[in-house]
Amino acid sequence: MYVNISDFINEWNREAMLTQKVLDGLTDDSLKQQVYPEGRTLGRIAWHLTASIPDYLAHFGLNIEKAVNEENVPASAKEIADTFKKLSEEAALAINQQWTDDSLSQTQNAFGREETNAQILMGLIKHIVHHRGQLTILIRQAGLKPFGVYGPPKEDWVNLGVTNPPL
């Protein structure tokens, strides 16, 4: 758990960078990929994880500007990726400027549970990671090579000298 803001900011920046690489690999056509006909599209999930950053933080008392036109999924993968970059940077700045290390131990009602602000920030990261995982599956289904978030995708094992990657 985070005991100071800089610990959170460091982890947030690492996770945001990994998410940015996933989003940068999207194409406009890939945004239409669905798991099943009634399911969310890759674009909807990518936009949700992007636009929800300021909404989540504002819910817990931080002053941060919402995503422009947050109700409508952009048709441009670049627009989603660029917006994520902007909002993730603004989130780090808002947290760094508006909360202190002592703020992390304060509690709030978080969706029906009492949680510390540190737990709430961990929830934000887990939310991003959860949806990033969904994106990597849909990226593969859309025929694109996913970015290797915590390890290489199957196509990159050969670059590591591994001809039969582990299952």
Output the pLDDT for position 165: 76
Phi, psi of 108 (to 5 degrees): -145, 165
pLDDT of 142 strictly over 90? yes
State both tokens at 120.
């709430």
Q: What is the pLDDT of residue 53?
A: 98
Between 156 and 108, whose confidence is greater?
A: 108
Closest CA to 47 of 61, 68, 17: 68
DSSP 52-104: HHHHHHHHTT---PPPTTTTS--S-HHHHHHHHHHHHHHHHHHHHHH--TGGG
Checking if the pLDDT of 166 tops 80, the result is no
Q: Which helix (H) or strand (E) holds 109?
A: strand 107-110
Q: Which residues are CB-contacts of 60 (< 8 A; sequence separation ≥ 6)?
A: 108, 110, 117, 120
The answer, yes or no, to whether residue 167 has pLDDT greater than 80, is no
The rounded mean pLDDT for the chain is 95
Q: How many residues does the structure list for the chain?
A: 167
Q: Which residue has the higher pLDDT, 29 or 152?
A: 29
Percent of all residues in the chain with a pLDDT value above 70, rounded to a whole number: 99
Q: DSSP 3-state helix, strand, coil percentages of the chain (rounded to 5)? A: 60, 5, 35
Closest CA to 77 of 26, 136, 147: 26
Q: How far apart are CA 96 and CA 122, in angstroms?
A: 15
Q: Count H helices, E strands: the chain?
A: 4, 2
